[in-house]
Amino acid sequence: MLMLGKGRYSCGNIIIYTAVTILAILMLFPGAFANVRYLGYNLFKQGAKVYLNYQTKDFMEQSSKHFILKYSENDEDTASFVLDMAEDFYAKVVNQLQYKLSGKAKIPIVIYPDEAALNESFGWSVDKSAAGVYWAGNIRLLSPHALAVQGSSLDEVKRIFAEEGPLSHELAHLFVDEKTRGNYTRWFTEGIAQYVEKTTTGFTLQEPGLEEKKELYQFSRMDEEFDNLPNQTLAYWQSLQAVNYLIEEYGMDKMNQFLQVLGNNRGFSEAFQEVYSISVKQFDNDIKKMLQI
Ligand SMILES: [Zn+2]
């Protein structure tokens, strides 16, 4: 009994000593906190990839230089086209965001035949709908066939996917996530993703009406409850306008510098002030004045 007790306490001591040592190291090297968080996030993403791979074990598979594509029979005729588009967008996003992904792991893309299958992969309720989702290092897309009117020719299906599909948007989310090492706000990544989408495919979401624009959201509120905001069109539009304004006013180099500084684990407001020399609050006021005119 004593041995057991001793053993248990020894074990407890080892845990305490280890925890104290780790804490001391973290305090000696402030960047270490960020590294531990990043390490945890990376592990989480690796786990998500393994789980997605398991979930889609019965899917067909094709790969290219940077992607591994999984799809059902429904998309045997679009898979190669989607992969070609992915490589094309990849080169454009690398160029725009001035960032090369580290490591040699290929990016998983899964094409689901319909909305129900896509929603089910997340356990979402059926009333939520999306044509594409970036989550934890992987991209999930709705079949190009589901974007086009039923009975459309294959050429038409491909054209609609190329012009309106969310692939470049989701890929931009992945690059923002990687370049900032997971350190970004929600409106910001939605703004960048829409900006990249607009410049690669020409696609933009519908613009809100004049009445709607009178009640713009605070950026801090958009960070906290983006998905639950009652006017999603307004939230997405405002995010794009904000990023658009930053790029037109200060240039793409500054934007890439900002992403880089976020990747060094600086707080969003601190990084914003450092790169743009204005506070987020001031920017919030400026952009609202501009958008309400
Ligand atoms: Zn998005």
Co-location of 195 and 245 in the same domain: yes
Together in a domain, 48 and 60: no
Q: How far apart are CA 189 and CA 239, in angstroms?
A: 8
- What pLDDT was estimated at residue 122? 80
Report CA(177)–ligand 1 centroid distance (Å): 12
Based on the fold, state whether residues 62 and 118 are members of the same structural domain: yes
Three-state DSSP class for residue 189:
helix
Are 99 and 192 in contact by the 8 Å Cβ rule? The answer is no
Q: 44 and 60 share a domain?
A: no
Predicted structure pTM score? 0.86
What does the pLDDT read at residue 4? Answer: 33
> Which CATH number characterizes residue 268's domain?
1.10.390
CA of 5 to the centre of ligand 1 (A): 54
| Pair 186, 293 in one domain | yes
C-alpha 141 – ligand 1 centre gap (Å): 12
Domain that holds residue 27: 12-55
- Separation of 11 CA from ligand 1 center, angstroms? 47
**What is 3-67 written as a DSSP string?**
HHHHHHHHHHHHHHHHHHHHHHHHHHSTHHHHHHHHHHHHHHHHHHHHHHHHHTTTSEEEE-SSE
Q: Specify if 2 maps to a domain.
A: no
The CA 173 to ligand 1 mean position distance, Å, reads: 7
Task: Tell me the CA–centroid distance for residue 171 and ligand 1, in Å.
Answer: 9
Protein residues with C-beta less than 5 angstroms from the ion ligand 1: 190, 193
| pLDDT at residue number 13 | 41
- Judge residue 160's burial from the number of C-beta atoms within 10 Å of its C-beta, 0-12 exposed, 13-18 middle, 19 or more buried: middle
Boundary-marking domain end, from 122, 141, 165 = 165
Q: What is the DSSP letter of 226?
A: G
**48 plus 71 within the same structural domain:** no
153 and 194 share a domain?
A: no
pLDDT, residue 247, reads 96
Distance 196 CA to ligand 1 centre (A): 11
Among residues 100, 133, 165, the one where a domain terminates is 165
- pLDDT score recorded for residue 57: 94
Nearby residues of 52 by Cβ (< 8 Å), 6 or more positions away: 108, 110, 121, 138
Q: Centre a 10 Å sphere on the Cβ of residue 29 and count the other Cβ atoms it contains.
A: 11
Q: Separation of 190 CA from ligand 1 center, angstroms?
A: 5
Domains held by the chain: number: 3
* 169 Cα–ligand 1 center, Å: 6
Distance (Å) from CA 18 to ligand 1 centroid: 41
Assess if residue 5 is contained within a domain: no
Per-residue pLDDT of the chain (293 residues; tens, 9 = 90+): 333 333 333 333 433 444 445 445 555 555 566 677 778 888 888 898 889 889 999 999 999 999 999 999 999 999 999 999 999 999 999 999 999 998 889 999 999 999 999 988 887 665 556 899 999 999 999 999 999 999 999 999 999 999 999 999 999 999 999 999 999 999 999 999 999 999 999 999 989 988 888 889 998 899 899 989 999 999 999 999 999 999 999 999 999 999 999 999 999 999 999 999 999 999 988 888 888 75
Q: Which residues, listed in sequence order, are joined to residue 67 by a DSSP beta bridge?
A: 107
What are the Cα distances from residue 99, in Å, to 57, 102, 175, 176, 241? 31, 9, 8, 9, 23
The answer to whether 41 and 137 have CB atoms below 8 angstroms apart is no
Out of 102, 131, 165, a domain closes at 165
**CATH no. for residue 113?**
3.40.30.160
